[in-house]
Amino acid sequence: MLPNKSQRGFTLIELMIVVVVIGILAAIAIPLYQQHVIKSERAAAQSAMLEIAGQLERHYTQNNRYPDHNDLPDRINNMIGQAESSGRHQFKIDSGGNEFNITATSVGNRDDDCARMTVDHRGQRTAEDDGGSDNTNFCW
């Protein structure tokens, strides 16, 4: 008996082709998406660092010195808390007298290329990968 022409469907070959195409697209899209997420997290950390640096400069203009890193004003501690709330970077501030240094360290080795980023009182920005190599031009 011949099959009814009104019965239509997909052959196994057609389904396998669709599965392969979806697999190829996923193999390309997923790593690109992960890189995009890491770059956006890096940009958020950099933004937080520069915002904190601005608050430290504001304190300097009002008090003629940077606050001691053990006695930061509440507004700066709040900014650090907000920046760390995502759990992507940990921030450390070394300050006092006439200088400061803000460091953002990637948590969980998510950002291997820019594992540690710093900005100081001169506005100098640096970055290192996990191996300690200078990646400043790449990260900033």
- Please write the tens of the pLDDT for every residue from 39-79: 999 999 999 999 999 999 999 999 999 999 888 999 999 99
| pLDDT tens, residue by residue, 32-48 | 999 999 899 999 999 99
**pTM confidence score:** 0.79
> Side chain identity at 16, as an amino acid letter?
M
How does pLDDT run across 100-132, given as a tens digit for each residue?
Answer: 999 999 998 677 888 999 999 999 999 998 888
Domain boundaries, the chain: 14-139
Q: Residue 4 has what pLDDT? A: 63
Name the residue among 132, 131, 128 with its Cα closest to residue 116. 128
Per the CB < 8 A criterion, the answer to whether 99 and 120 are in contact is yes
